[in-house]
Amino acid sequence: MTQSKGKSNHSGGGERHGARLYEIESGEGGQRVDNLLLRLLKNVPKSRVYAMVRKGEVRLDGGRVKVTTRVQPGQKLRIPPHQTAEQGPEPTVPEALRSQVREAVIFEDRDVLVLGKPPGLAAHGGSGVRFGALEALSPWPEAPALALAHRLDRDTSGVLLLAKRRAALRHLQQAFRERTAKKRYLAVVAGTWPAHLRRLEAPLERVLAKNGERFVRVSQAGKPARTEVSVVERLPGATLLSLAPETGRTHQLRVHLSHAGFPILGDEKYAPPALRKVLGAVPVPRLALHAQALTVPARDPEHAPWHFEAPLPADLEALLSALRAQR
């Protein structure tokens, strides 16, 4: 149910909308406020949506909210006055990319679609990115509301889970929120990983630099973060690691490994410049991080958990082969 105070045209382009109350529907319970607002206000700049929340303009049952606040059915969300951006033509996903992404689907049933996301492709469009995996897959047959259940960094390849139905999305979001979804990554790091080091634990804080760049650092003011580590293969000057994050902080694996002194090869943000493009004579194609596997409890507790794996892509296979050839 929505109560609106109307809208009006605006000579500056786009459309001016008055404040309104939006009643949270039964299928929307458990969603974060920012995700719900971004869905409801599709043509409002993302920066404006987050500013609404930060300034206290968005209210839930009369109280202030954070972007991480989760809504419940029946609550009333006040959406403040806002202006939509002037709409241009929808970005067209190149057919070659659309075909490449659709060929990378590794599993599908009535609830979910699982993609082996190629490197270099954003999970979704926005923040200067015209389109991503979500747009390349949409529209999808029998999934009018295809939605991302989680995110992967643009340069990270591997398992990306999407929900085809609202009920499935709620279930998956709950699994990630309660940490019953288990992820495993492969990473190629610089240096010889010590055999005794099997767990990384350091609090992480998100920071905005003076130049406007956002990054993450280890800080006692940050949130707890834990990563389990095991060695898969030792290589000349590098180590192939298996990583299991116990928490899901932004850039957690990249920052933990860099802080430990073993940055991921090809990491443009957290690795030293000398390790971003090459390791000795071996070219590094991109961030050497791959989301290898994801296990999620099935919606029916009597069924076995969903388990999905994405094979290592050709560029990282080539990197490993080149490193092995240095022996």
Active site residues: 153
Closest by CA to 75, choosing from 59, 90, 89, 91, is 59
Q: DSSP letter string over 168-185?
A: HHHHHHHHHHTT-SEEEE
Sole residue written with tokens 């994405």 = 310
Closest by CA to 118, choosing from 323, 240, 322, 291, is 291
- The encoded tokens of residue 51 equal 């500013």
Round to the nearest angstrom and report the end-to-end CA distance of the chain. Answer: 66
What is the rounded CA–CA span in Å between residue 211 and residue 37?
28
Crossing angle of helices 33-40 and 46-54, in 10° steps, is: 140
How many CA atoms, within 13 angstroms, populate the side-chain half-sphere of residue 273?
0
For 213, counting Cβ atoms within 10 Å of its Cβ (0-12 exposed, 13-18 middle, 19+ buried), the class is exposed
